[in-house]
């Protein structure tokens, strides 16, 4: 029990072996740059099929913040902002990337990372009811994440409702799927890729946290939604020279439905960890999540001991005596390390 | 009682007669542009004296949003944001001008328009306590307004406390004084221009709402705080070609302490209006303010009648049956119109 | 000859007496803010009539840089830039206001301030011929000034040609008319307001340099070209609280065709000054202009003497021994001062 | 001769075998994200040693445009722009990424991609000589590329001179080394990494085009030059979650001086290709380069034939009958393909 168990995030390891193998195999092939290669073509085709959306525009980028900033900037006009839960990644943890391209993040209340349709509707109604609303930033699109930053899931019904409200105000609905594989792998999830393509206007399928070295795949069901996306990508520093690296990775992730399977162990392991915490006397859950992130309330006096054994993420202060930590599993988490983690948690 | 009484804002009329006279008198004089004229020199000198701050940098601009966006952009680095009450003008009613220059408005809770030092401190402590705070926008300055958008005042003690907290984190404190004359004219006010120059790092003295046709005078007690301000002003579209128009106006406003007097009637009239509402059976105050804005709760069924006689500002929905309206007096409000307004409010 | 003659710019004085009189007369009237007043309505109507364009959207702003930055930002998408002569005001003398809102100024060669249609066409052809043009900023609109920063004029034929080229690439043509009155007053000019409304997509009629205290009137012949312009104006710090000040000024300027007359003396005086320089032995013209700016080559050894008598603008170094200065007349220039200037120039 | 020979760019293949091997070997290791891993530490140490600059700040990013935009934004203040050759990558081929963060690219004349010290000096002198220079964007730093976009090299003496001029105006000198390995491998080069660390203020060592899958290593000899770089990186979408991927790659590139060797074959092959073109009757060089890019003038009537055999880059139209193409070798180019290319060029 003197080795460190790594649970601080879901981006601690490299990539799924299929990806590594293909990167090795194709390493010295010559292909055109900037995504004009056959691997990218193939990956985009597989993604269109998986979404049952043969006309969709699919774009590959390197990382999440980059993808969010680029998609949002591609959609909004200068006078518009993006509506987000106040806990949304774009609102809090992207170092002002959205504002840096000139757009305000319009924050609304959230519960466990989720906004709800009635809250969104009320926000929009209030905006338009204000006689001076033209002096305010116009809401131009809606941002949600699935799963959320809090590990929670929107149900299909909830996304339908958000979609209805957003569309009734002509606002595109955008879904940040940085951890989408862990939503798709959850038994509690009823939202498929096909649903996302039907109900939303733009979403991205996370690679970085879901089996790839890096990479996020943007899906735009109506390919007329944005224009000159390549120029916007380049302007945001997000046009990868060796674009095939993205193509190869998503091609592998969407072969044989790998992406739909890759999060399953992580979600199961997170369940075991949460079961263990719930049966613990000293620890408790902030709340139970259906995906790969566990939020555990730890007495401050146990923190130092825990840190000797486990690499975890600080989440927030709970009260003067307790701290919330985040433990994340991933596609690369091993059963053995989970058992060891549970043992540590039980013995602490 | 069939004429309209104008109380919808404090920028409905032109300028104080002294200003108009001097504009007329100097109209055909030739002076250099961009503020390099003797009137601007004189105005800046008078302002330095009024602030007892002979070394201060004083800069004149046209309007409030422009002034806020320029000052904030002049101070912040690209990775920084401005901390503001969530009800602050920069947070809500400037159409995203701050974000348009790349900076996030970091919103904290407010009560009647005011943030407090402990809330600010907690916000900053929480920011630095977060292990990942470098992934978030760094707080780079603090914005408050005096009086606030809600007509309330910070006391000297409150500003001292905010100043202490801000400075303990090396953050400049910026005060938006769009309606500063109404603060200075209030009996409840204990914050002088000299206090602002001592306790804050940059503030502006509002002209537009306080007797000028337009114009805001920025005071930077430590003239080394910002550099190349003229270029920043020009970039923000705020360098007036005929800069002397600003010079002439502030020169007049600061002759014979006019600026300290100009808001007195307005504040007294606002008191009378609020007295009347408090004694009314059908109307009530949202809360009493010590300055020139009155927030009155009006039954929805009385709104149409009221609108026939009074031009007011919509503030917010109070509940299903009542609406909050804003009635603002100004330096140009006449005693007669106040009497008529009170009569209307009593008879409604 | 020991008093200074002011010819350094065309924004050294206040406003035309008609404007001053109306500002005085209306000073204590109460009107709604932000341009929702009857004077603004009337001014916009007069401008629509003067342009013979009854459906045009007319917007009033305070200054030129502000107007350029706002109009350009209102039209361009994030991936687009504005094509300008490399000597254009937006390219050189606006402190980066265009870039500050995220847009590149795409500079093309100019002669005496003018781009030409074939140069524009070649630029656009070269852009689209480049296989990698999507890695470059997309040209999104074309900017010219009339008169140019060099005092020259586009002929109607030249504007027609530029309009044809721009429109063949679906680019709006924008005209900066900061000094438009001096174009309209020139005998060499054959471009009317009506022509501008027909041939261009957006232009502004300068007030600041043409008889107003400040103010520029934007004309958008097709009112569907931009949307949410008020929000964009506010975001750019260009929504004047007491908007009627702009309304009153343009209302006066467009009464009885004042705007078409107001530049006539200035243009005639500039002719006289240029005649005098041409007949001088020691001075010469850089070139003759048909408007109100004169560019005079002065031996460096005469500069100090000249400076004792005349306030002029430095234009550029001509060679090691000579300097080009700019002498500008305006609507406020007096015949007497012109005579004195000519005397100074002759005697130097 | 019916297979395609790939010479269109230097980013057509994957990575050097050492990199691939280490990526495979370390794939399932768990490390902290965002560059807080031992591979990144090691890489940065090796780079500091190679630059003989033990105190330097070293930062790893993914791609060139991202790196340029981030470094420039980290250094400039809002009122500043970056001086670049008009042919510089930041001026032309980055889709407005610099302007998107609010900064103007101040373009000066270039010859074969190079600015010279006297041109830079004249530009700066002219700027400061202009009485109205505060109305213009202030030059805030100088950007050059080594090798340039035109395959040419700055000599040590030239960089010393540029450095002297820049520093005499307190401007940091920044070097874009996207293809730096091909400079370091050229026999004509006399500028070492150590020289760059001494003479410039910030430069980046290109990985993407020089043996890595992706990645650029920024070196800031004086670590006090920029602050909060991590936040700026994140804001620019350039903070890679699995930062160790960058660490591993640069660690390999700087083991056993690999980076100093990796471009040698490419430069030698480019020499052979240029020799062949020079001895050709039908083809000619635009000019000879000392690095890995060859610029070949091809008669238009031969282009179709050439395209059947070779994938090359379009460079520019030479005249009505001829086109300039770019042929680039890289670390991955094989001797065999070069021989075949030469044969194609000879037989065309």
Neighbors of chain A by Cβ distance (3+ pairs < 8 Å): B, C, D
Mutate to test the interface with A, among D242, D247, D328 (most CBs of A within 10 A): D242
Burial C150-186, CB ≥16 within 10 A → b, else e: bbbbbebebbbbbbebbeebebbbbbbbbbbbbbbbb
Q: What is the bridge-based pairing of β-strands D202-206 and D216-220? A: antiparallel
Banded pLDDT at A1 (limits 50, 70, 90): very low
User: What mean pLDDT comes out for the span D319-333?
Assistant: 96
Would you say C186 and C84 are in contact if contact means Cβ atoms under 8 Å apart?
no
CA distance C273 to chain A (A): 46
Local structure of A44: helix, strand or coil = helix
Q: pLDDT band at A224, cuts 50/70/90?
A: very high
Could you count the other beta carbons within 10 Å of the beta carbon of residue A2? Answer: 5
Kindly determine whether residue C100 and residue D96, on different chains, have CB atoms separated by under 8 Å: no
Q: Label residue B154 left, alpha or beta by phi (over 0 means left) and psi (-120 to 50 means alpha).
A: beta
Whether the ω angle into residue A147 lies within 30 degrees of 0, i.e. cis, is yes
Per-residue pLDDT at D253: 98
Q: Is C137 touching A (CB cutoff 8 A)? A: yes
Round to whole Å and give the CA distance between B276 and B233.
44
State the pLDDT at residue C348.
86
pLDDT tens digit string along C107-125?
A: 999 999 999 999 999 999 9
Shortest Cα–Cα distance, C136 to chain D (Å): 4
**What would the mean pLDDT of A97-107 be, rounded to a whole number?**
98
- Whether residue A155 lies within 8 A of chain C, CB to CB, comes out as no
- Chain C hits for D136, CB-CB cut-off 8 Å, are 92-93, 95
With an 8 Å Cβ cutoff, is C102 touching chain A? yes
Q: Cβ(A60)–Cβ(A35) under 8 Å?
A: yes
Chain C interface includes A255 (CB < 8 A): no
Which residues lie across from D80 on neighbouring strands? D138
**What dihedral angle (degrees, nearest 10) is formed by the CA atoms of A79, A83, A89, A95?**
30
Contacts of B74 in chain D (CB under 8 A): 78
Q: Does C73 touch chain A (CB under 8 A)?
A: yes
In chain B, residues with a C-beta closer than 8 Å to the C-beta of A107 are 107
**Residue C1: band (very low, low, confident or very high) from pLDDT cuts 50, 70, 90:** very low
Question: How many A-B residue pairs are in contact by the CB < 8 A criterion?
Answer: 65
Residues B45-55: tens digit of each pLDDT: 999 999 999 99
**Closest chain D residue to the Cα of A248, Cα to Cα:** D14
pLDDT tens profile D294-303:
999 999 999 9
Q: Is D311 exposed, middle or buried (0-12, 13-18, 19+ CB in 10 A)?
A: middle
Interchain CB distance below 8 Å, D96 and C102: yes
pLDDT of B285 higher than 60: yes
- Report the candidate in A66, A88, A50 with the shortest Cα–Cα distance to residue A221: A50
How far does the CA of residue C338 sit from the closest CA of chain B (Å)? 14
Tell me the two tokens of residue A303.
């923190």
Q: Helices (H) and strands (E) in chain B — how many of each?
A: 15, 13
Chain B CB within 8 Å of residue C52 CB: no
Q: In chain A, what are the domains?
A: 5-9+263-347 (3.90.1150.10), 17-261 (3.40.640.10)
How many Cβ contacts (< 8 angstroms) between chains C and D?
64
Distance CA B154, CA B111 (A): 11
The conformation of residue A281, written as its DSSP 8-state character, comes to S
- Length of chain B, please? 348
Residues belonging to chain D:
348
Question: Using CB atoms, which residue from C101, C131, C137 is nearest to D95?
Answer: C137
Helix, strand, coil shares, percent, chain C, to 5: 40, 20, 40
The separation between CA C213 and the C-alpha centre of its own chain, rounded to angstroms, equals 15
List CB contacts (< 8 A) between B94 and chain A: 135
Mean per-residue pLDDT for B26-47?
Answer: 97
Q: Is the peptide bond before B48 cis (omega within 30 degrees of 0)?
A: no
Contact partners, residue D125, CB within 8 Å, separation at least 6:
none
Would the CB atoms of B95 and C235 count as touching at under 8 Å?
A: yes
Q: Confirm or reject contact between C228 and chain A (CB < 8 A).
A: yes
Output the CA angle D181-D186-D192, nearest 5 degrees.
65
Question: Coil, helix or strand for C101?
Answer: coil
Q: How far apart are CA C219 and CA C61, in angstroms?
A: 11
Q: Is D9 on the interface with A (CB under 8 A)?
A: yes
How much is the pLDDT for B2?
Answer: 58
* Cβ neighbours of residue C122 closer than 8 Å, sequence gap 6 or more: none
Q: At what angle do helices D156-168 and D117-129 cross, to 10 degrees?
A: 10
Contacts of D311 in chain A (CB under 8 A): 30, 32
CB distance A15–D27 less than 8 Å?
yes
Nearest CA of chain A to the CA of C346: how many Å? 54
> Any idea which residue has 């390493």 for tokens?
A27
Q: Is A65 on the interface with D (CB under 8 A)?
A: yes
Contact C138 A228 (CB under 8 A): yes
Q: Do A63 and D94 touch (CB under 8 A)?
A: no
φ/ψ of A219, rounded to 5, equals: -120, 125
pLDDT of residue C209: 98
C-alpha neighbours within 13 Å on the C-beta side of residue D189: 26
C107 touches chain D (CB under 8 A): yes
Q: What is the pLDDT of residue B249?
A: 98
Q: Tokens 């993914």: give the residue.
A: D62
Token match 């003690």: residue?
A: B157
| Contact assignment for A131 to B78 by CB distance below 8 Å | no
Please tell me which of the candidates A101, A134, A231 has its beta carbon nearest to residue C231: A134
| CB spacing of B103 vs A99 below 8 angstroms | yes
- Whether the pLDDT of residue B3 is over 80: the answer is no
> Which residues face D310 on adjacent strands?
D5
* φ, ψ of residue A138 in degrees (nearest 5): -75, 130
pLDDT of residue C2: 58
As a whole number of angstroms, the distance between CA C204 and CA C190 comes to: 18
Which residues in chain D are contacts of B231 at CB distance < 8 A? 79, 134-138
Cβ pair A175, A145 in contact under 8 A:
yes
Q: How far apart are CA C38 and CA C244, in angstroms?
A: 8
What residues form DSSP beta bridges with B271?
Answer: none
Interface check for C60 against chain B (CB to CB < 8 A): the answer is no
Closest-CA distance of chain C to residue D24, Å: 33
- Chain C hits for A102, CB-CB cut-off 8 Å, are 101-102
**Bond from prior residue into A78 cis (ω within 30 degrees of 0):** no
- ipTM more than 0.85? yes
Residue C102 has pLDDT above 80, yes or no: yes
B314 touching D, CB under 8 A? no
Q: What was the pLDDT predicted at D2?
A: 58
Distance, C-alpha B206 to centroid of its chain: 6
- From the list B226, B229, B208, the residue with the least C-alpha distance to B217 is B208
pLDDT at D3 over 80: no
Q: C-alpha angle with apex B241: B239 to B243, nearest 5 degrees?
A: 80
Kindly report the nearest CA distance between residue C334 and chain B, in angstroms.
10
Q: How far is CA B242 from the centre of its chain?
A: 24
Q: Are D143 and D176 in contact (CB under 8 A)?
A: yes
Determine the Cα–Cα distance for residues D321 and A242; give it in Å rounded to an integer. Answer: 33
Instruction: Please answer whether residues D32 and A311 qualify as being in contact, where contact means their C-beta atoms are separated by less than 8 angstroms.
Output: yes
Put simply, whether B135 touches D (Cβ < 8 Å) is yes
**Site from D6, D29, D96, D237 to mutate, A interface, most A CB atoms within 10 angstroms:** D237
Neighbour subunits, D (≥3 Cβ pairs < 8 A): A, B, C
Å between A166 CA and nearest CA of chain C: 19
Cβ–Cβ contact B104 with A under 8 A: yes
Which chain C residue shows the shortest CA-CA distance from A77? Answer: C77
Phi, psi of B65, deg, nearest 5: -60, -45
Q: Which among C83, B81, C290, D124 is positioned nearest to A100, based on CA atoms?
A: B81
Chain B: residue whose CA lies nearest to D240: B135
Which residue in the block uniquely carries the two structure tokens 């059976």?
B281
pLDDT at C74 over 50: yes
Task: Report yes or no: D308 at the C interface, CB cutoff 8 Å.
Answer: no
């Amino acid at each position: 029990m003197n080795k460190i168990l790594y649970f601080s995030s879901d981006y601690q390891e490299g990539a799924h072996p299929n990806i590594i193998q293909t990167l090795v195999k194709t390493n010295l092939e010559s292909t055109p740059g900037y995504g004009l290669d056959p691997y990218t073509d193939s990956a985009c085709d597989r993604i269109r099929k998986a979404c049952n959306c043969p006309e969709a525009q699919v774009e590959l980028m390197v990382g999440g913040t980059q993808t969010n900033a680029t998609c949002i900037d591609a959609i909004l006009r200068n006078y518009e902002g993006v509506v987000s839960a106040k806990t949304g990644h774009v609102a809090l943890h992207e170092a002002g990337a959205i504002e840096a391209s000139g757009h305000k993040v319009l924050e609304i209340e959230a519960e466990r990372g989720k906004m709800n349709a009635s809250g969104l509707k009320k926000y929009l109604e209030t905006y338009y009811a204000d006689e001076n609303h033209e002096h305010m930033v116009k809401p131009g699109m809606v941002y949600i994440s699935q799963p959320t930053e809090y590990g929670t899931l929107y149900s299909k019904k909830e996304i339908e409702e958000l979609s209805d409200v957003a569309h009734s105000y002509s606002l595109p609905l955008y879904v940040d799927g940085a951890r989408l594989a862990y939503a798709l792998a959850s038994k509690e999830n009823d939202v498929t890729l096909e649903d996302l393509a039907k109900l939303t206007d733009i979403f991205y399928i996370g690679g970085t946290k879901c089996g790839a070295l890096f990479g996020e795949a943007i899906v735009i069901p109506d390919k007329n939604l944005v224009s000159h996306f390549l120029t916007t990508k380049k302007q945001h520093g997000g046009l990868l020279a060796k674009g095939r690296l993205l193509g190869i990775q998503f091609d592998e992730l969407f072969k044989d439905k790998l992406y739909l399977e890759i999060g399953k162990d992580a979600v199961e392991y997170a369940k075991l960890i949460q079961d263990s915490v719930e049966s613990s006397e000293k620890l408790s859950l902030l709340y139970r999540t259906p995906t790969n992130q566990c939020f555990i309330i730890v007495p401050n006096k146990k923190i130092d001991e825990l840190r000797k054994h486990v690499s975890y993420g600080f989440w927030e202060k709970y009260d003067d005596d307790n701290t919330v930590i985040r433990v994340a599993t991933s596609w690369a988490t091993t059963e053995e390390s989970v058992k060891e983690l549970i043992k540590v948690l039980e013995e602490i």
